[in-house]
Structure 1
Amino acid sequence: MKTAHTLNPSQHQAVTEIEGPVLVVAGPGTGKTQVLTKRIAEILKQTQIGPENILALTFTESGVVAMRDRLRDQIGQTAYYVDICTFHSFCNDIIKKWPEKFAFAKELESATDVEKAQIMKSIIDDLNLKKLKPFGDKYKYLKPALGTISSLKRENVSVEKLNELIAAEEIQIKNETKINPRTGKPRVKDIKKMEGVEKQKELALVYENYQKKMIEKGRYDYEDMIMFVVDKLKNDDFLKAYYQEKYQYFLLDEYQDTNSAQNEVVTLLGEFFDSPNIFAVGDDDQAIYRFQGASLENILEFTGKYPNAQKIVLTENYRSDQKILDAARALIVNNKQRLETRIPDIIKILKGQKNEQDNGVMLCELDDGNEEAYFIAKKIFEMRESGADLSEIAVFYRRNRDVTELIRFFEKLGIKYEITGGGNLLDDIQIQKIISLLKVINNPRDDIEFFRMLNLDFLDIEREDIFKLTSLAHKKKKRYAEIVRDVALLKESNLKNIVKISNLSVLLDQWTGYNSNLIFAEFFEKVINESGFMEYLLKREDVRELNRIKTFFNQIKEFNRGDHHLRLKSFLEILDLMEEYSIQMEEGHISTGDSSVKLMTAHKAKGLEFDHVFIFKSISSAWEKYRGGRNDIKLPANIFAMQDLDESLEEEDERRLFYVALTRAKKQAYITYAKKYEKGSGKMREESPSVFVAEISDKSLKFDTQKYKEEVSERLKLYLAPPAPESYSEGLQSYLKELLKDYVLSVTALNNYLNCPRKFLYQNILKVPRVKVKYMSFGTAVHFALQEFFEAFKREKTAPSLDFLLSAFEAGLKKEVLEPSDYEESLEKGKKMLTEYLQYHKNNLKIPLFNEYNFISHKIIFDGIPLTGKADRIDMIDEKLSTVNVVDYKTGAAKTENQIRGLTEDATSDNYRQLVFYKLLAELDRWFKWKVVSCELDFVGEPNRKFQTSIMQADIDGLKQEIKTAYQAMQDLKFDKIVKGKICSKCEFYNVCWRTRSQ
């Protein structure tokens, strides 16, 4: 950046012409902060006003700090008397200064994201909505509704104004609606527009009720504060006159991103003068926080409101190499909505004042996402080894979840990093551990959670003891909570450390008492200390982990302040709500003082600069086709005065964001992308580079990544090597081998092993007690109903009635342990499903040969391996030929043949392997005299989509090999976890499997 003493001609003009409205269009790196602060100094120099008569408003707190620091360097301590603040803090100061004028607001407290979600949930429950409460997913629009209401408030759109806009749009749509001559009905696009209007009407109703509920609960949200001030300034002449007299000069930073409500505050304060001294600095190409599609609204409104305003364009860039600026220009000119195309005398071609020797923008193509993450980490490792300052390196990405794989390589290569903006505390492994313990204290009867807790490393319970307790619980048909309290039973089980487990039982009872008698924050403090968690954390000497638990505890105290009667159960419900609606508990910022790479989303990059920038995962689905930040509730197109909302401009929003990310680079920008990425199932999906990559390709160089592609062994070693090799003590080996002795293999167990040996160990060998989830209980009841139906059919030789089938289902469902609401929902769903099933099959029903045929009693052996299984139904095809069809019921969604065979990205071949397994069992069963010529998956919920196939010998041979290989691996105690991205994170044993243990 240039020195504070020198200004180019455009900057000089912006600084010295202090009277009247001025619009400065300041491209990236053109010195806008210097211009703002020098202008303040110039105002104080040229006029007789005091610093307190100047109001400078910016977008973020970091912007406030940067401006004040720069101003202090120029004018000394006088800088502290200039009002430099965010719009939010400015409005907050007004409310605090005039409590008698904002008496209602004084009684309100700021609502947390959790409270907003709770309020919205209750509104959806109470209102009779059709569009915003779809059947089967009634909270689908909870988050979109909250987001849209926040956007409306930012644009100063009240409930009344929204209703007016909706009514106007409805009239316009009706006037423009045309009849399709072929159908005699309105065109499809017109029908969709009217459906959109109906959704908007429901939104207005939700908005109205949301505001009422917030007041009832004594809450307001961030956007309300500015609306309170706008409303008061409009209706209180004295208050408005006070601030009009106080402030003679206004400076607005990041003007392109200020919203309508914020703009209204400045307009009201400046309207006393025909030509107010409002100095607005912005760049439409960097509008990344405005309402979607409204990038030009502020600047066009400014020029319309003040037609005689001076327009100054800053184009001399003091940050980036010209090669980077040329690439950025090639990108952004593809946007149609730009000032350059709307105001002819504005030309924004940036001219770099630096001439770096680096290569500018490098396009880096890799084969897959893992290779891409490795490339970035290895390249930064090499930069560090060559003397680069890590704090001058940043990696930008579109979505928070994109960075997970990259962090893994950073940690393996010892690269220090800092996630700017903070990660989600609830994703942190140490926080998850303490939450697991809290869940057991709250409900010790939850055996899955109890098993997770036993495996927590800070409790230091021997793994052999955990396995023995698990088997004991299964054999005795008791819960863990009962087992650990039964000292006599523990002594019989030959545990290595009975005292530790008995002490844990005592502590659990003690903590339950604390929960009833202490305030929640005190209860939590006692648990983390008495459990050994804090001692364990302190020994690790990881300041980031300590900062996270401190932030988590502070958040607990905040929750406790909001609810003095907070208890563990309600706290865990809050965490569940946060997870369900992706509400983050943001980690508090901590600076370790070390040089570290900065990792952040592209939105967080605004206002920053680095020598070297990496834009990670520059693919179409992560950028221009990314739907994550877009809303499902479309607002009236006439919501703005200067611009209509246009869905076709969504790509332009993303292009501006990419432009901001690219122009953070001073010396070099690496834009990386891969040809394919792993999906949640572990399979790879082909991806296309973002269109933005193609747009800058002529101004970029292709980086040769071949060297990094060839480092396959090093990459895989870094990525796949576990923190410590999996090993078992001699005692544990003996114990597991005893459990596996003569193990009888089912296809379910085989599928579990092939999908993840570790899960198989927990679920099939140790038999960790599990409570049936709702969908499993539903499936069991449907199977029971069909079994009863066909048993009666076989017995009576006449097909039973629909009432019989539905009664059997209801009887089966009553046997399941379900919450009342889950029972009612399952009952309604099951009756509908079975009614449609019987209706579809009523003309082709036939008496089955076997119903629930169980192979287990027939002692089936293959190559020394005991096998078992149970077929839901076996139907005769041809009595003379003794041919049969094996049927397996499925109550989940129907699958395509490719999904069943495991040929699609998200699918496994579990279902197809199941059918092959039935065929093999029938062939090996000495008592089974029939020939299986086909096998069938009968999708009960979609009876017209059953899958029937003949099993080939090649399938049988392949299955035999899988059985032999898997069974031998089981006997060899090979129970390593298989890493499958999202599938792992959703597994009930995730927190056990990925824990850190020293033993």
Structure 2
Amino acid sequence: MDLKKLLNEQQYEAATTIEGPLLILAGAGSGKTRVLTYRIAHMIKDLGIYPSQILAITFTNKAAGEMKDRIRNLVGDEVDNMWISTFHSCCVRILRREIDKLGYNKNFTIYDSYDQKTLIKQCMKELNVNDKDITDREIINKISDSKNNLISAEEYKKKNEHDFRKNKIADVYLLYQKKLKSNNALDFDDLIYKTVMLFKKHNDVLEFYQRKFKYIMVDEYQDTNECQYQFVKLLADANKNIFVVGDDDQCLPEGTLIRTKLGAVNIEELRENDRILCASGNGEVSEGSIDKVIKKEYKGMFIRIKTRSGKTIKATPNHITFARINDDLSSYKEYTRHFANAVNLNFFSGEKEEGSQHYSHRIELITSEEDEKLKAIEAGFSVKKENINSWRIETERVLYDEAEKYGKRIIQINDDLEIVRKAKLTKHNSYYFMPIGSLKQGMIVTVFDNNEIVEDVVESVDIEEYKGYVYDLSVPDFRQYIANDVIVHNCIYEWRGANIRNILDFEKDFPDTRVIKLEQNYRSKGTILEAANQVIKNNVNRKGKTLRTEKDNGDKIKIYRASTDKDEAAFVASEMKRLIKEEGRMYKDFAVLYRMNSQSRSIEEAFRKNDIPYRIIGGLKFYDRKEIKDIMAYLKLICNPYDDVSLQRIINEPKRSIGKTTLSKVIDFAAQTEESIYNVLLDVGFIPGLSARNVTSINKFTTLINEFMELKEELTVSEMIRKIIDETGYMKALEKNKDTESESRIENLKELVSEAVEFEMNSEDKSVEAFLENKTLVTDMDNYDENADAAVMMTIHSAKGLEFPVVFMVGMENGIFPSEITLSSNTEMEEARRLCYVAITRAEEKLYMTSAEQRMVFGRMVFYSPSDFIDEIPPKLKEFINNRGLNRVFNSSRNSSQFSNSSSFKNSNIWNKMNTTNTFNTSVANAINNNNTKLSKEEAVVGRKVKHKKFGVGTIVNVSGNGNDIIITVAFDNMGIKKLMIDSAPLESC
């Protein structure tokens, strides 16, 4: 192959550099899949490397299949001799061959999340662990975290023997692993964990696979956890021929003099295990131990801060410090209480336990949403009543990282919840996490003075250019330290996992690494790429790469501002219809991307009204439906009779007179004899306490299962499923019900048979075991069919790796994307900006960014300004359109009021955020109906837009009092903050 004609210069270098470690920094649409494909084809066709010596690990099963098809087009059927798979699929193949060395049978079952939860609950019941004190979800998360960090049940027990709660979790972990083994089963995390353990315990096995896989390629390397990282590192250690693709955008700040007990020390002189001074809460100081020192080269902007007392610190703009607004400057303190959907993490604000070096950390959520309350209870959180209309979750954690993890758990109950972080570092105040680049003159920061933490005022903020090394420190338990006498946060977040560090440390792990940047984009039009570059360049610290394209510039990015979220949805639907009619497009050409799943509702309604076919990626999974899980459980039991979880699921499905009491007697007898449940069922006559009817039913069941086992090798998967559905009476039971739900389940079972037929047509291994593996490891993205003629709706996170001719990015508002909390954190803004970059580069030809002046959030109207990300795109690359897709011409004053820097939230305090949210007040005021009536008590809710005869238009930011004494605080657009009695104030609802 003449790769020089097929690839650009960087791609060619990446595809032809075969020996030694190679790190590829690939931008969106820069052709990394093309490079991987031609690299493998080049290795096989031109260099004569055996396909069986190549291992390629991709992001999804779908991606693996597509890559295999592309390579097949270049090298033919030789591709079947190489491994192209996900981490989990790869490890399953290894374990099917080698797991007997760990004491398992090779026909092990892979438990899904339902099976795992069932088994965990059994363990909790046996150990008398109260699920009100410790939930099954918490235990599952702890076990998963442990396995992903290569911590065995025994190690977890030893590590936490003095912690009562974790010791209980350790007991469940130990019993859970014991039961998994007796069931000859692995959970999802075990697949990689057990493979790594296999390699570490059996060097002969590791050496075999090191010889087998002389060339290893890994996509999305920055997303690997510790377990995946060790798997790759072990395999690549012998030959060092490892090729990884990823992106390393990451904050790496700098400090100068670091406070220790013995005085100030240059940061470059510090080493791991050195002890330094840290704030410990309430003005106090303690010693913390460094567990990691980061050193990197840096060229770019530095922020220089000088305080009133003479403290000076230089740092990268996104380095986090702790600050608050001076009470004299604004009503920020009043307003911030009312962040919607905030989980408040206030570090060092709790009690100080005896013997602890620091104060504990408080976590709190207060809300009135009933739906969230039910979800919180279901998730195992202790919910307390706050007042008549609200409730709260409130707790403390001693460890910093545990508090952060707990907060992360809370926000999982609702996509719209977000964390607000503060730290009580002085005696009387808590301070928000704030990037140094967002500090302003007059703001208050925390400093070290006379052996305590006190407040100081920012005197000046300057920008400097810097080229040289930068450093950061990781300090467990404190996560902050004292640099030039200013308290700063460390940017190595343990709770975010080791993912990004794997790519940052790649050159250290493999010293002879070559680094190649793929910067030329082949997916998107020039205008779209330029917009993406303009947005992402606002991220200060990243390994530089600028996407380029050879496509023509294409259309400008269309910016549409709707009055409400319903209007926004109607515009998206009508614009799709217009493009289909005028440009001959198909529905599958369109994608609607949003930040939160909850944003899809209004779009769905508009699509249904306009008869637009659509699919949502991330909805209810086919294999999570009851009838599907039942038949899959039959298949699992047929393949692995030791699988007690699957047996318990289907022994009475459909009803066959084997109830809970009977099953309980069987389970107890199996436990006493230390046999699997199926084994004792085979000799059911020995089980005491069973009636003759029970024995007859059980014998019929085991006869049926034995028959299925005997036919397993003779029948295809689809034939086996048909036989199970028919001979168990499962289909007859559904047909007997004759209701809508049963009809739906029957259709789903038919679809399962179709799935099996499709599997048989496309899979090399056509066994029942392979079918189970394939479906256990499937993801939503693997189910995405790009050929189906339907518009696609999904979160931006789900869109990674996909591209569409036309993309609508909806909800482009400050408060939505970026979110309200993100706006106050430069670190979070950088992450959101990277996500925006991903979304923009999903578009191949046309890109729309839409926003709404007001949208319904939790039952009330909330007002938003256009997203800062729109503002970061230069005027020459975008055009503002009306609801017919036509260019709108803005005069300068109107344009500036809606889309210019005056509405930007960048480098502004929260007061500015509140004020600029209403920059479109003139147009709103003009549209107010003259027939509006006086504001009622029921209408007095935070976020409502109101009009005062004297003060004009404003937004309610606080409501207090009750009865006839209700006082509302209104942020007026032109008159500032006013407190008014609702009964006497001349207020109208807008």
TM-score by length of 1: 0.48
Structure number with higher strand proportion: 2
Structure number with higher helix proportion: 1
TM-score by length of 2: 0.48
